[in-house]
């Protein structure tokens, strides 16, 4: 149906309701931009009614705009969308906007989620707030498919397992082969677009070269190693401890019990000192693992007991999925650590390197990115300290192959330097981490 058909619908409305002439034209223009009724679908209508209308028009004009929008939907034969315009949800969202901007935003987001037409995140693809053209196209295609399912009664928001059905619809749309480009899918287009943006955003020539070199390896999911349970053994041990009946005992200061700490360092070789550790606070590896598990929402504390969450128990049952979660993590979850981890990983993928050379290779890139500390740009000394963060993290999973330095007998002169390389499983883990940064959802501009 062309734009002329929409114009005729507006004219029919004004014949019966001349007082709604301006409102009907405004609604038609906002919803179709002169392109015809094909531009109208439920998600777009809701965005207009619940987001753009309260932000772009004074509240005394809202009733006429809502009424005109509902009549326009009736005239165009979109009865289910007319019901959305006249719904109690629309009234409630607009009432929230009158109360305050914050309440309006919260009401809009809540109503969108409950409507059934907001594309959910899936294991195949999570949506970003910053999108390229292909991702925006994919989002709209899924929105339309969900809206069609709601209109047909095949997807009933609020019904049992409706969210699982929405995920299934989303995955089906994203994985369906396209005619153009032949054999490609929407999910594939989004991933290619994201990886391309990741490459072009690199500010330093060496960084751009490293990203470009691994790009093709990141276009498809990185599969876990053959024994993922062995690769994430420390995390599995911690989750098994917290998943046992009654959880894990904690001290008064909420550390793991000392006998648990001693068992951990004995099992994983985390202690090289003569005297045993006094508490969890003495064992970097253990406290780091616990912090990471908390960030991933795998653990929860209740009083002096530590329990595995439902998500923790779920991942404990799937070594592959647990590995995927761990592989996309860093030592502390901070963005600077993420940038350092990426660079150290990219450099190690080029082959074995001396520690000093590793610092020399990544320092210019980090400095060019403009990172600062205490109000001043970071220095090579700061980078020398920072590169140990990803190395410490990957050591937990025994994916680093290190050759220690040797020294001339009776002198302080170094005979052979300390060198670092990735094991085969380490290369896989690093690639998985890089894919999470390159092909993951963009919620900030990541040119780092």
The top-level CATH class assigned to 335-438 is: mainly alpha
- Structural contact between residues 437 and 338, judged by C-beta atoms closer than 8 angstroms: yes
pTM above 0.95, yes or no: no
Q: Are 288 and 393 in contact (CB under 8 A)?
A: yes
The answer to whether 289 and 396 are in contact (CB under 8 A) is yes
Distance CA 52, CA 390 (A): 44
Band of pLDDT at residue 39, cut at 50, 70 and 90: very high
Domain layout of the chain by residue ranges: 3-115, 122-200, 228-327, 335-438
Could you tell me the pLDDT band of residue 413, with boundaries at 50, 70 and 90? confident
Band (2; pLDDT cuts 50, 70, 90)? low
Best CATH choice for the domain 228-327 from the list 1.10.3470, 3.90.226, 1.10.10, 3.90.320: 1.10.10
| Domains 228-327 and 335-438 belong to one CATH topology | yes
Overall average pLDDT of the 321-350 stretch = 96
Q: pLDDT tens digits for 246-292?
A: 999 999 999 999 999 999 999 999 999 999 999 999 999 999 999 99
- pLDDT, mean over the chain: 94
Q: Quick: pLDDT tens for 345-381.
A: 999 999 999 999 999 999 999 999 999 988 888 999 9
Written as six digits, the tokens of 129 are: 């707030």
Preceding peptide of 181 cis, ω within 30°: yes
User: pLDDT for 301-325, tens place per residue?
Assistant: 999 999 999 999 999 999 999 999 9
State the average pLDDT over residues 196-200: 97
Instruction: List b or e across 263-288, with b for residues whose CB sees 16 or more CB atoms inside 10 angstroms.
Output: ebbeebebbeeeeebeebebbebbbb
DSSP reduced 3-state for 414: strand
């Amino acid at each position: 149906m062309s734009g002329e058909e929409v114009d005729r619908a507006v004219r029919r409305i004004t014949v019966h309701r001349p007082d709604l002439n301006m409102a009907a034209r405004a609604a038609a223009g906002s919803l179709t931009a002169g392109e015809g009724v094909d531009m109208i679908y439920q998600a777009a209508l809701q965005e207009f009614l619940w987001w753009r209308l309260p932000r772009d028009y004074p509240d005394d004009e809202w009733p006429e705009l809502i009424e005109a929008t509902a009549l326009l939907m009736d005239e165009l034969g979109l009865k289910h969308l007319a019901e959305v315009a006249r719904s109690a949800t629309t009234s409630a969202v607009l009432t929230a906007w009158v109360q305050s901007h914050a309440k309006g935003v919260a009401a809009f987001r809540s109503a969108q989620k409950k409507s059934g037409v907001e594309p959910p995140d899936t294991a195949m693809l999570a949506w970003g707030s910053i999108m390229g053209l292909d991702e925006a196209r994919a989002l709209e295609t899924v929105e339309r498919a969900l809206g069609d399912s709601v209109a047909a009664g095949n997807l009933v928001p609020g019904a049992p397992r409706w969210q699982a059905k929405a995920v299934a619809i989303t995955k089906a749309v994203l994985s369906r082969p396209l005619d153009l480009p032949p054999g490609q899918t929407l999910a594939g287009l989004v991933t290619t677009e994201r990886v391309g943006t990741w490459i072009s955003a690199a500010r330093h020539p060496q960084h751009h070269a490293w990203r470009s070199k691994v790009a093709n390896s990141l276009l498809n999911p990185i599969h876990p190693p053959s024994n993922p349970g062995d690769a994430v053994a420390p995390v599995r041990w911690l989750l098994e401890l917290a998943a046992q009946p009654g959880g894990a005992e904690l001290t008064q200061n909420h550390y793991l019990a000392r006998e648990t700490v001693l068992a951990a360092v004995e099992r994983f070789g985390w202690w090289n000192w003569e005297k045993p550790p006094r508490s969890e606070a003495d064992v970097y590896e253990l406290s780091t693992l616990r912090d990471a598990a908390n960030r991933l929402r795998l653990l929860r504390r209740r009083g002096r007991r530590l329990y595995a969450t439902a998500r923790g128990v779920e991942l404990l049952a799937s070594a592959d999925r647990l590995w995927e979660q761990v592989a996309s993590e860093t030592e502390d979850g901070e963005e600077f650590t993420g940038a350092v981890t990426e660079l150290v990983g990219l450099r190690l993928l080029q082959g074995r390197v001396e520690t000093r050379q590793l610092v020399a290779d990544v320092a210019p890139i980090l400095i060019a990115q403009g990172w600062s500390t205490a109000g001043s740009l970071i220095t090579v000394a700061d980078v020398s300290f920072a590169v140990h963060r990803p190395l410490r993290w990957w050591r937990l999973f025994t994916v680093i192959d290190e050759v220690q330095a040797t020294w001339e007998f009776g002198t302080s002169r170094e005979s052979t330097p300390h060198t670092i390389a990735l094991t085969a499983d380490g290369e896989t883990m690093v690639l998985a981490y890089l894919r999470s940064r390159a092909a993951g959802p963009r919620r900030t501009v990541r040119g780092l």
